[in-house]
Amino acid sequence: LNDKYSKDTVALSNAVSAPPMGVSERAWRRVQRKQQRDLRRGMRFASNAQQQSISFSQQESTLFDRTVLVIELKPNEKGAMDLKHLKSIVTFLLEQHRQHAFGSRIVNKTVTQKKLEIVLLVESPGGAVQDFGLAAAEVGRLSNEKGISTTVCVDNVAASGGYMIASQAHQLCAAPFAIVGSIGVIRESFNLNGALERQGVKGVVLKAGHSKAPISMFGPLTKEDVRTAQRVIDKMHTAFQRSVTDARPALADSVEAVCNGDIYLGTEAKELSLVDRVVTSEEYIFERITVGDRVLKLHQSHQAKFGKHRFTPLDFIRHKSKGALRAAWNNAAKGFGGESGDFLSNLVHAGSFLGFAQYLVRHRFL
């Protein structure tokens, strides 16, 4: 796990150190060297802990005073939210920010990180409370980090769990006709007990603990079971409301009127303090570019597969000798069900070389 983010660190460093459009690499390096000299002089006033936290191998000095990093949280091709990578992304960004990867500056003889803003493009109608609650907690990690500001932009919909995520940002922007809110909890289920009894089939449910799974599909449904299930839903709803009001204190006085499951358009949500600005994501990002911020977009890179095996540049580093490298490719080619011949081995060599060259052009994540 220590090397989990090593490739992403290299890709981020390359993106941060790239010259702006219209600036030659030679002129850019000259500016960076001057700023690094100024920063090193300022480091004389920094504490030992601060000096150790900064790596000059990364390009920590640039012309930009603030970096804006855009991250999409939208449904995939199947219409489902893929939130499993969010926790790794957050951990990676926090690590890089604490190591001054986005730049350093001297303030009152103290070395501090340059400003970093995370812009999340959220689009979701909600889903399982566990998944979206975890995602909201991860966004909260970013918002609670010193030196990082968070902004969520909603162009279409951020309802229920989607709004739970969006509410954790310092600033929430929505398009005029975007749908936000739906701060509620719903549970739906079938109970076939009556239908089965009419067919002469009796459903049997055994459980230990009177509150365990109060509503089942085949067992009888009692009023006590309904009350127990309702208590669970109410408990989740209260936690949902508390999560939103803790992040957005302006809603504390209107929690019962607003956090009741209703949905609102962007313009209406602004009046109710559910959002801070009525603006589209493109308009907001263009604002950041206009004021001179460095704007980057984080995306996941899907490495090419060869059979069931993945090849990365680390495979070239790991096998130093030509014989060991060839043996590695031969072993990988055996995954196709047989001994690999010269033709297949050469094919693997060629494909891996092309994959490595492609990797150099398209950095992972950035």
Catalytic residues: 160, 212
Q: What's the chain's length in residues?
A: 366
Strand 179-181 versus strand 263-265 pairing type:
antiparallel
- For 233-241, the CB contacts below 8 A with 24+ separation are 233/185, 233/186, 233/187, 236/129, 236/185, 237/183, 237/184, 237/185, 240/129, 240/164, 240/183, 240/184, 240/185, 241/183
Contact 159, 181 (CB under 8 A): yes
Using CA atoms, how far apart are residues 21 and 7, in angstroms rounded to an integer?
25
Name residue 25's amino acid: E
Cα-trace Rg, the chain:
27
| Pair 93, 142: CB distance under 8 Å | yes
| CA 12/CA 206 separation, integer angstroms | 55
In 3D space, the residue among 356, 311, 366, 360 whose CA is nearest the CA of residue 11 turns out to be 366
CA 117/CA 149 separation, integer angstroms: 5
Put residue 273 in one of left, alpha, beta given phi > 0 → left and psi -120 to 50 → alpha: left
Residue 260's identity, in one-letter code, is N
Query: Rounded to whole angstroms, what are the CA distances from 248 to 184, 227, 242, 251?
Result: 16, 31, 10, 6
C-beta atoms surrounding 262 within 10 Å: 12
Question: Could you tell me if 219 and 204 are in contact, meaning their C-beta atoms sit under 8 angstroms apart?
Answer: yes
For Cα atoms 62, 296, 81, give the angle at the middle one, nearest 5 degrees: 150
Residue written as token pair 């739970």: 164
Chain centroid offset of residue 141 CA: 11
